[in-house]
Amino acid sequence: MRLLLISNSTNAGETYLEHPLQEIKTFLGEKPVNAVFVPYAGVTISFDDYTGRVRSRFQEIGHDITSVNDVSDPVKAVEEAGAVIVGGGNTFQLVKLMQDNGLIDAIRNRVLQGIPYIGWSAGSNVACPSLKTTNDMPIVEPGSFNTMNLVPFQINPHYLDANPEGHAGETREMRIEEFIEANPGMFVVGLREGTMFLLENGSMELIGPRPARIFKKEMDPYELQPGSDFSFLL
């Protein structure tokens, strides 16, 4: 498999997809790829506008995209794609529409066959066994929480350490501790903004300026820096 799993699309003070764009270019290569884009996580942006926004950035690096929302047969489009890109937004809506359109299995099968997969935020969530470590509100109800299971661990994108002054609710770490209590044996990776996982040739690399935070039941959370060995997650 070849996966690029990105925590977030936009860093503070940067333009859309600015921080991962060169990594995406390197990942896809110089030769134009027939890439299919899944905009289903977009809620307050139309799928057409979302696709246009992503297309403009990908064209800058020599690639174009076709949205599954613009074809009569999304499964066929995925089956013929040279790459799959899944954008961020609301993970519950993304999963529901992927399920409704038969794309969970279709994308999984193509990625297992070796085509590149790129996802950011919700698009990284759906590469995991389930959507249970998303940060999003359940604005719609999918048929199942199960997702593509391309990696055997859970990602929490946009991971934050901060506990704002005056905030008495649960921190992100506390929420993840609830998950690992209910799901013993499962690793969760807090993937901070500006970072991403590159998985290819059977190994996984953390790219970016920040460490990842590792959680598992009956283990103290700990940090791993870029350049560390992440093979235990696979």
Phi, psi (deg, nearest 5) at residue 68: -65, -20
Residues with active-site annotation: 121, 136, 158
Residue 206: which of 90, 124, 132, 131 has the closest Cα?
124
Q: Is residue 205 within 8 Å of 198, Cβ to Cβ?
A: yes
- In Å, the largest CA–CA distance within the chain is 52
Strands (E) in the chain, as ranges, are: 2-6, 34-38, 64-67, 83-86, 116-120, 154-159, 188-192, 196-200, 203-207, 212-215, 222-224
Q: Is residue 168 within 8 Å of 190, Cβ to Cβ?
A: no
Q: What is the DSSP string of 170-184?
A: --HHHHHHHHHHHST
